[in-house]
Structure 1
């Protein structure tokens, strides 16, 4: 009987001790499992090792001792958070007509993200920004990652880079460019990551909501935005040619003739053909993404963004304008050819007249 009472008292004592401990320190964090395979610690900073296998990317995260093993380094996008504060900025630029990717990769070898497809017309660079934060509870740190997707045809798409930081990153690209534009073109977009999203993605006004933002998502979004901003440039080039031919047609309407030389016309022919070839071949506007082909999740993002940016419709408009330019070029070529034929005819008439005059002179002298 005595042993039974002692056992009961021992259980009550353990229960009271546990409750008192929980009451006095309810919010103390649990010890961090530093042996987790996805965590590495370097002087207090922890980050996930990256590989060519698609994984959740590191964009922004406070890595204070929280006991969490999820090192997505993402904005904490809870259901009550304002969407504006959770947006990851994306900026697309068209700087030049060609970028030497090999030399840029060699210069930034430690920042190159290993490719996951056989495509060679772009490269992805990742930059880490280590910062620290001192508070009353101690010292913590976070790792902020910036991504830059650079395309051989002249586009660069920047992820998680603020306006005041843009020039520093674009300068990395400019050192390896040719055909640098006097005025680059720019477009803005944004990404929101919501792990609790029911679907893989959801569209918004100038932004896209993703359930998981990983390296391949960045590649897909970068490819569409890079093509879109490049298409803007080529459309502006063709618009300039359309305006030039419109001026020629208005002048012909008034005067009945035109003054364009054959050399200028041939330059316009070359410009029109090179623009069309660049859009189809260099930009690869109709090449299917290998990443999207492998996974339906990325295919959904790819198709949504192409529809959002009206890539096919804009190319259709570009093709229509190029046909207008081509029609005008053929017409003006015929006019120039007729001019040359008329000149040759007059030359022949002149030579025949000289020959006749000489013949008449010889007859008279004889």
Structure 2
């Protein structure tokens, strides 16, 4: 029985720099990931969206490696974002998906890679769902103000800061979600294809992606509304300035004629 674990430690990992400085040749690698197959059924997977996966590593080894990897991280993440799965290798059994466990008829580098990849996507989705929910909650505060007062009670500067912060969250999510596609190798092997589809169903990857996408669309619509409100507020302010200038001009003209 193997335990497969994935930890999200940052929003980004510089995989290219890590590969250049890490000793060992990856089994599979690209600009976005590095997968290492080592002796004694030990596997290591580093993904650019801030996740590292382990198989066969002890607690001290994992802790030491994560500390080492943090020098290649951008925007470290606070909180405990972790996912794990038990894998039983049984040549007499069929591919079986259970709650928090999996039975596979064979184990090789590609099988392990697909398992870690799906767990990594799930733990990353946990983080993105948290960001999406925070963005949605913060926009709801302003929509509640619109419902209660008919306007947003916030200064222009603070509103622009809020919009900028929310857009950064939204961009951070979209910058990484594009990698949540299945690798090409799953289309070349029946077992890998069934394994990938089963794991995506187990972790609800596709459904969670759609839900997050829906939340982000709501946030986008709210931001557009807030921007319109800001422009309307500025337009009204300019109109009053013009009215005051005209009034001052009229007063000045009257004063000059009288005196």
Q: Which residue of 2 aligns with 1:277?
A: 174
**In structure 2, C-alpha distance between the alignment counterparts of 1:100 and 1:302, rounded to whole Å:** 26
**In structure 2, C-alpha distance between the alignment counterparts of 1:264 and 1:103, rounded to whole Å:** 33
**In structure 2, C-alpha distance between the alignment counterparts of 1:219 and 1:161, rounded to whole Å:** 15
Q: Which residue of 2 aligns with 1:113?
A: 26
Q: Which has the higher contact order (CA 8 A, sep 6+)?
A: 2
The partner residue of 1:195 within 91, 94, 97 is 91
Question: How does 1:149-228 map onto structure 2 within 5 Å?
Answer: 149-197=45-93, 199=94, 201-228=95-122
**In structure 1, C-alpha distance between the alignment counterparts of 2:61 and 2:27, rounded to whole Å:** 24
Question: How does 1:1-366 map onto structure 2 within 5 Å?
Answer: 87-110=1-24, 112-115=25-28, 119-128=30-39, 144-197=40-93, 199=94, 201-260=95-154, 261=156, 262-281=159-178, 284-285=179-180, 287-365=181-259
Q: Please, what is the CA RMSD of the aligned residues? A: 2.0
**In structure 1, C-alpha distance between the alignment counterparts of 2:188 and 2:111, rounded to whole Å:** 13
**In structure 2, C-alpha distance between the alignment counterparts of 1:336 and 1:221, rounded to whole Å:** 48
User: What SS is found at the alignment partner of 2:212?
Assistant: helix
**Do the aligned partners of 2:45 and 2:53 also contact (CA within 8 Å) in 1?**
yes
Normalising to structure 2: TM-score of the pair?
A: 0.90
User: What SS is found at the alignment partner of 1:212?
Assistant: coil
**In structure 1, C-alpha distance between the alignment counterparts of 2:136 and 2:173, rounded to whole Å:** 14
User: What SS is found at the alignment partner of 1:183?
Assistant: coil
**Do the aligned partners of 1:234 and 1:279 also contact (CA within 8 Å) in 2?**
no
**In structure 2, C-alpha distance between the alignment counterparts of 1:245 and 1:206, rounded to whole Å:** 35
**In structure 2, C-alpha distance between the alignment counterparts of 1:107 and 1:332, rounded to whole Å:** 46
Quick one: structure 1 residues 226 and 245, their matched pair in 2 at CA, closer, same or farther if it must change by over 3 Å?
same
**Do the aligned partners of 1:231 and 1:279 also contact (CA within 8 Å) in 2?**
no
Q: Report the number of matched residues.
A: 256
- Give the CA deviation at 1:243: 1.2
Between 168-177 and 340-349, the greater mean CA deviation after superposition:
168-177
- Give the CA deviation at 1:127: 4.5
Q: Which runs of 5+ in 2 are unaligned?
A: none
Deviations along 1:309-346, one digit per CA (max 9) or x if unpaired, are: 11111011101111221222122222111110110000
Between 119-128 and 211-220, the greater mean CA deviation after superposition:
119-128
Normalising to structure 1: TM-score of the pair?
A: 0.65
